[in-house]
Amino acid sequence: MRPAQLWLKTSVGRTEDGVESMAMANNDAEHSERVIELRLPSRLGYEKVAMDAASSLARRMGFDSDRVEALRTALSEAVTNAIEHGNAHDAAMKVMVMLTVRPDGLVISVADQGRKQLDQDKTVLTPRIEDSFTKEDKGGWGIWLIRELMDEVEFSTAPTGGNQIRMVIHLER
């Protein structure tokens, strides 16, 4: 317990549960979107930092646990793609994750530094399970999964020249 902290902070109007205030605040001032930015090392395992930050935010925005899990999975795929392919496992290269809070949902963008450009075909083709048995390259399922889990998905080139994926998850009220 931290009684001293509670006592001190409640006197200046801190709410113990910042929950609704985050999405609501945006209704009051839609011109000022709230943005959280993260820069992570390109090392497998550190996608968990992005997953925990995004799920912490999404829970507080009011997404239910299924949607939060979907978001975690999609973000995990996007960040590991950036680490493994875009930044080719170079720990000095960063993965940029931007979380934008909107009244109607959460926009998540993930950008790498483009050591390797994403093959555009990979973003549109639906992989076939039959091919995975016979072909050497068993990839392509991550992007398919992201499309299944998120409400909007878009691929582009980041201002820095890297690969960028923008995902949106809608808040249903």
From the list 154, 158, 162, the residue with the least C-alpha distance to 85 is 162
Binders in 83-112 for other proteins, by CB under 8 A: 91
- Write down the least CB distance from residue 55 to other proteins, Å: 8
**Window of 4-12, 63-71, 79-87, 116-124 that interacts with other proteins by CB under 8 A:** 4-12
Q: Binding to other proteins by residue 161, rule CB under 8 A?
A: no
The DSSP code for 107 is E
- Write down the least CB distance from residue 92 to other proteins, Å: 9
Residues in Cβ contact with 167 at an 8 Å cutoff, skipping those fewer than 6 apart = 74, 75, 78, 107, 108, 109, 110, 146, 150, 152, 153, 154
CB 96 within 8 A of CB 47: no
- Write down the least CB distance from residue 109 to other proteins, Å: 15
Residues in Cβ contact with 166 at an 8 Å cutoff, skipping those fewer than 6 apart = 107, 108, 109, 152, 153, 154, 155, 156
- Write down the least CB distance from residue 141 to other proteins, Å: 25
Per-residue binding string, other proteins, 27-66, x by CB under 8 A, is --x--x-xxxxxxxx-x-xx-xxxxxx-xxx--x------
Per DSSP, helices labelled H in the chain are: 3-10, 19-28, 47-61, 65-81, 120-124, 129-134, 141-149
Residue with tokens 């075909």: 121
**Window of 9-17, 107-115, 120-128, 144-152 that interacts with other proteins by CB under 8 A:** 9-17
Size of the residue set binding other proteins (CB under 8 A):
39
Residues near other proteins (CB under 8 A) are 2, 4-5, 7-9, 11-12, 14-15, 18-19, 21-22, 25, 29, 32, 34-41, 43, 45-46, 48-53, 55-57, 60, 91
